[in-house]
Structure 1
Amino acid sequence: MASAFALSAHQGFAASAIGIVNVEGGRVSGVEPDIPSVEVFKGIPFAAPTSGENRFRPPQPVVKWEGVKKADTWGDQALQDIHGNPTGAFWGDEFYFDPEFLPKASENGLNLNVWTPAKSKGQKLPVYVWIHGGANHHGYASEMEFYASKLAQKGIIVVAIQYRVGAPGFLALPELSAESPHKVSGNYAILDQIKALEWVRDNIAGFGGDPKNVTIGGQSAGARNSTMLLRSPLAKGLFHRAVIESGQTGLFSSPMQKLAEREEANRKGLEQVFGKATSLADLRAIPTDDFIAKTAPDGKTQLYEALHKATNLPAQHALDGYVFTEQSVDLLKPGALDGIDIMVGGTSDEYTSLTGGPDKTFTDTEMAEAMGKIGYDDAWKDVYRPSDPQDAYRKSLRARADYNLQGYILSAEIAKSRNKNFNIYTFYFNHAPPGRNTEFYGSFHSSDLWYFMNSMRDKPGQRLWTSADYRMGDTMSSYLANFVKSGNPNGGNLPEWPQGGKGTFMRFHDGYAFSVKQTPYPERDKLNRDTIIRVQKLDGMK
């Protein structure tokens, strides 16, 4: 198959505006992507490999290199199964079909990509640090939907970072805490992200960026990690605004475990995987390739997968008093977000691509159980009225996404009322990409990435994009670039996007942006708002 973004034959030979850049560890040079006014530096290491004695430790300093590193190749993914989303299945056909965008995985995955449109090193352009999703189980910075040349062309530097996922990113154990100078363990993925932000602070000026004007952003697990960075005192001052796409809980609390509880749960989980007590030395001695190539002692489950399920569900982040404190994790307390600007929202059909499929059905009992798990009382029966078993299943999926949307809107209102120097903008992505059973999948989870990143291309394997898609991509990426520049998405000829403190949000639909106060289903909006107020015990809210 032809590469989805086959680069021009003269790549690497075009005149460079930035030239050679001195960074932590050595010197790097970039290459030209498909936009001549942008330069990309691929796979720059920001920390040492995480194998051996560095496994289950905070990120260590970069290993220095000699000469000029030609940053023309995507860096390794963090350790994971790179074939976990094969072609022929939904996600493989959407994002992972092109080998050009599927680098190998290893424990040398703490690297990043820099996209810069700067004309000189002293230009001081705003910086957008992108944090990939993947349930903190998989994902990487060079996925094709993150191809950021057109976004960078709008006058911002985009830095896409990687971090450890699965058990390597979150394992907490008493033995690990005992060797830590802070007497903590786990949260390595967050420490990786903080290390990347420190790299940006110390090195981005060489690429024409302004370390005093940094926005973080992510989608799905990347969005949750962005909210976790908002919660960490270690990240304070490293960024100035945040973009939260499909983070599910919005600014409300996110699942966490106290460190002692997590240590004990992880210890028991390891015993279940290995059938015996396992020492830290044993874990560090496992060859990297064995995590993917070999199974757990049960002979059935891939070792990487078994460890992830045993240690990272249902919660991943540890409340340890260091990376996260009791005082720092509440984003809705008065003043918690002073000085930070936020863009937050999600898609209208988050769960069509995450659970089941277009042919799945629900009985009346199954639908009632599903709606109860969301948090509804019997009032849902007057609002989500299915016409048949297939419609019952589909309406239950839409209800979950509707609930998330009202959570974004409501938490934005609360945050706006409790912070003085604070701007927040909410959005609802309701634009369905073309083809591939769009009638069922609609605006599926992650579909907004093509548009915010403006990464759609007329290339083999991608969807057959329409003029409405390209118009939507140009509009959404312009809002995003404006927000990264100033904390305000408005500017140019874009439709006005009011702040979200009074329930107003931007709806992206059929290629256009609309400022609205309700979805096309106001009765669903009210049910979900009322349900969240009850579930979150928000006395006094309407």
Structure 2
Amino acid sequence: MAYKKLPYNRLQGVVAGVMLMSATTACAQTNAPVNSTAAGGLSGPVQTQQGLVQGAPGKSEGITVFKGIPFAAPPVGDLRWAQPAAPVAWTGVRDATKWGNVCVQPPAPQRFPVNSATDMPDSPAMSEDCLFLNIWTGAKAAGEKRPVMVWLYGGAYNEGGGNAPFSEGDKLAEKGVVLVTFNYRVGSLGFLSHPELTAESPHNASGNQAMGDAIAAFKWLKENVAAFGGDPDNITIFGESAGAALDAGLTGSPVARGTFERAISQSGAWMGLGIALMPTMADSERRTVEAAEKIGATSLAAMRALPAEEVIKNFRGQGMVVDGWIIPEDLSITFANGRQNPVDVLVGSNSDEGSFTAAMGGPPATLASWNEGEARRWGNQVALGRAAYPVSTETEAIKASTMPFSDTMAWHMRLFAESQAKIGKNAWLYWFTHTPPYDADRPNLGAGHTAEIPYAFNNLAAPRTFPAGSSVTLMANNPAELAFADQLSQYWVNFARTGNPNGEGLPQWPTLRQLGADEAMLLNGNGSGKGKWITPAQSALFRAMYEERVAQPLGIKPGQ
């Protein structure tokens, strides 16, 4: 059953979510031949484990796109909040030319940019029956073993879908990968713990439903992507913001081990967008019970009987939690002790991540507000905070006001890269510093949160995703912007192919081991290359904050 679009406070919910983020038996791989044409790619039905699917020509010549393929059973009725079950087989040929339903979430038609999953002219209906994936491929036959890239969308864990125009995969598929997007449950339908849910789980766990959705999608690809020309042994997951945090969470999850080989995290990791302990299942259960009691839903059965609109309205999605199963322990412990999955990583963030906070109608930064916020920002590390961000004038306060958000995230991304390098995996670190053009009537957010996404997908003509709404008009046919998008997307594709972003005609990207402690690969349209991204004082501040707020409470030894 599809649900109508929901009313939405267009800014408050997303911003609050962003800030709070601080079963089938394995079968033999089907490689059944499909009809093909020299120019048109896969023209005939493709055989999956569940049945035949028929796609359609993509927007680029030679690319075939398959939409709305179910990778799990509909999580409805008694399966609401359950981990995903095996997909149901079908007979005949399934039409895979239209988007599947998008997961239930709050639209934002008055916001800029709008919710790109729900507010486009061709956005599908919302429904709890939403576990579908989409595939773009330039393969002409099964078994070509092209690298596979799987996108996990951001949206503060509260919105998003695999149908968003910015993530359409034609341009990346042109570069030789099989590009996959999929829907995972969001908000309180995708991230919710409850004592009864925990009790009914064979793993005594609840709360990471969206992570289970992702793992189910990866397993489906392991079994089926060869039929679309992909290599099931060369899967790279990549995502931004909440999607990047999920990438890191899945890298740390033993349940996800073996389901992918590489990960790209754009602006987010296991601690969210900052430095913090991970939420626990017990706290999540308590908040759910308190919210349920307020509306008289005193049992899990009563909660499952609620319309989806009421669930979204009355319960808060709580993001990834330490549930003892998918996430057995706070992942800071996992990564510090080298117990994470052995996957190559390419990770980083943007130089103006925090710019959106100043562009959303809040009070302007002043010297007084900066000084008054010292204890809130730095806690017991005020002296280090002052050394890292020396501010004595109104101008300096305005400039510094968004920097800690950006720099804390960058420090977290480096920790992620260092953790993978320590276990012998390829690790690559970037700092996206390119300022895209913005329309004159829109705030210039610089290299803001989500600003890199159009370049990573090489989709400069597609509508943008919240919050960094750079100009489609000024970028779509701009030779310099197009050249940079071609460069950055090629780095991503090269990494997916071999674990190394470097390639012919690209500025050399040093490995993490070749970078100094204050260096990263600066991605900039005016010339990418190695450069400094942090000062020694800032690095000392964030290390001290991590030791105090995370390492010491978790018993992680200094230097781990």
Residue 447 to residue 44, structure 1, CA distance change in 2 (3 Å): same
Deviations for 1:3-33, whole angstroms, at most 9, x for unmatched residues? xxxxxxxxx9x84436311224321111122
**Contact 2:235–2:261 (CA under 8 A) maintained in structure 1:** yes
State the alpha-carbon separation in 2 of the partners of residues 511 and 435 from structure 1.
17
| Alignment of 1:534 onto 2:534 | no
**Contact 2:171–2:457 (CA under 8 A) maintained in structure 1:** yes
**Contact 1:354–1:445 (CA under 8 A) maintained in structure 2:** no
| Alignment of 1:428 onto 2:448 | no
Mean CA deviation greater in 376-385 or 473-482: 376-385
| Alignment of 1:396 onto 2:401 | yes
Show the counterpart of 1:300.
none
What's the TM-score once normalised by structure 1's chain length? 0.84
Show the counterpart of 1:186.
207
Residue 511 of structure 1: how far off its partner (Å): 4.4
| Alignment of 1:345 onto 2:386 | no
Residue 492 of structure 1: how far off its partner (Å): 1.2
Show the counterpart of 1:35.
60
Show the counterpart of 2:312.
304
Residue 93 to residue 207, structure 1, CA distance change in 2 (3 Å): closer
**Contact 1:250–1:344 (CA under 8 A) maintained in structure 2:** no
Deviations for 1:441-487, whole angstroms, at most 9, x for unmatched residues? 11111111100111112889834212222111100000000000011
Show the counterpart of 1:17.
42
Residue 541 to residue 175, structure 1, CA distance change in 2 (3 Å): closer
Secondary structure of the corresponding residue to residue 335 of structure 2: coil
**Contact 1:129–1:159 (CA under 8 A) maintained in structure 2:** yes
Deviations for 1:368-424, whole angstroms, at most 9, x for unmatched residues? 3445444352454464537537x63452112320232233234433542x212x110
**Contact 1:232–1:329 (CA under 8 A) maintained in structure 2:** no
State the alpha-carbon separation in 1 of the partners of residues 333 and 141 from structure 2.
41
Show the counterpart of 1:295.
none
Secondary structure of the corresponding residue to residue 522 of structure 2: strand
Secondary structure of the corresponding residue to residue 175 of structure 1: helix
Structure-to-structure mapping, 1:120-519, within 5 angstroms: 120-247=141-268, 249=271, 255-272=277-294, 274=295, 276-288=296-308, 290-291=309-310, 304-308=312-316, 312=318, 316-326=319-329, 330-337=333-340, 339-354=342-357, 356-357=359-360, 360-375=363-378, 377-381=382-386, 383-385=389-391, 387-388=393-394, 392-413=397-418, 415-416=420-421, 418-420=422-424, 422-436=425-439, 440-457=444-461, 462-465=472-475, 466-501=478-513, 502=515, 503=517, 504-516=519-531, 518-519=532-533
**Contact 2:72–2:88 (CA under 8 A) maintained in structure 1:** yes
State the alpha-carbon separation in 2 of the partners of residues 234 and 330 from structure 1.
17
**Aligned AA for 1:307?**
F
State the alpha-carbon separation in 2 of the partners of residues 404 and 181 from structure 1.
36
Residue 208 of structure 1: how far off its partner (Å): 0.6
State the alpha-carbon separation in 1 of the partners of residues 241 and 462 from structure 2.
26
State the alpha-carbon separation in 2 of the partners of residues 252 and 340 from structure 1.
22
Secondary structure of the corresponding residue to residue 431 of structure 2: strand
Deviations for 1:221-256, whole angstroms, at most 9, x for unmatched residues? 001111111121111011111100000648997643
Deviations for 1:132-183, whole angstroms, at most 9, x for unmatched residues? 1111111111111112211111111111111111111122111112222222
State the alpha-carbon separation in 2 of the partners of residues 128 and 184 from structure 1.
29
Residue 71 to residue 341, structure 1, CA distance change in 2 (3 Å): same
Structure-to-structure mapping, 1:54-69, within 5 angstroms: 54-69=79-94
Show the counterpart of 1:50.
75
**Contact 2:275–2:412 (CA under 8 A) maintained in structure 1:** no
Residue 265 to residue 329, structure 1, CA distance change in 2 (3 Å): same
Deviations for 1:67-112, whole angstroms, at most 9, x for unmatched residues? 212211122111112x2x224x332298976413x22211111011
Residue 317 of structure 1: how far off its partner (Å): 2.4
What's the TM-score once normalised by structure 2's chain length? 0.82
**Aligned AA for 2:45?**
I
Mean CA deviation greater in 377-386 or 472-481: 377-386
**Aligned AA for 2:487?**
T
Secondary structure of the corresponding residue to residue 113 of structure 2: helix
**Contact 2:274–2:405 (CA under 8 A) maintained in structure 1:** no
Secondary structure of the corresponding residue to residue 427 of structure 1: strand
State the alpha-carbon separation in 2 of the partners of residues 398 and 203 from structure 1.
44
Deviations for 1:332-383, whole angstroms, at most 9, x for unmatched residues? 3344357311011011111222555378412333213445444352454464
Q: CA-atom RMSD, angstroms? A: 3.0
Residue 131 to residue 338, structure 1, CA distance change in 2 (3 Å): closer
**Contact 2:345–2:420 (CA under 8 A) maintained in structure 1:** no
Show the counterpart of 2:24.
none
Show the counterpart of 2:8.
none
**Aligned AA for 1:241?**
R
Residue 269 of structure 1: how far off its partner (Å): 2.6
Residue 512 of structure 1: how far off its partner (Å): 3.1
Residue 352 to residue 90, structure 1, CA distance change in 2 (3 Å): farther
Unaligned stretches of 5+ in structure 2? 1-36, 465-470, 552-556
Mean CA deviation greater in 332-341 or 174-183: 332-341
Unaligned stretches of 5+ in structure 1? 1-11, 292-302
Show the counterpart of 1:297.
none
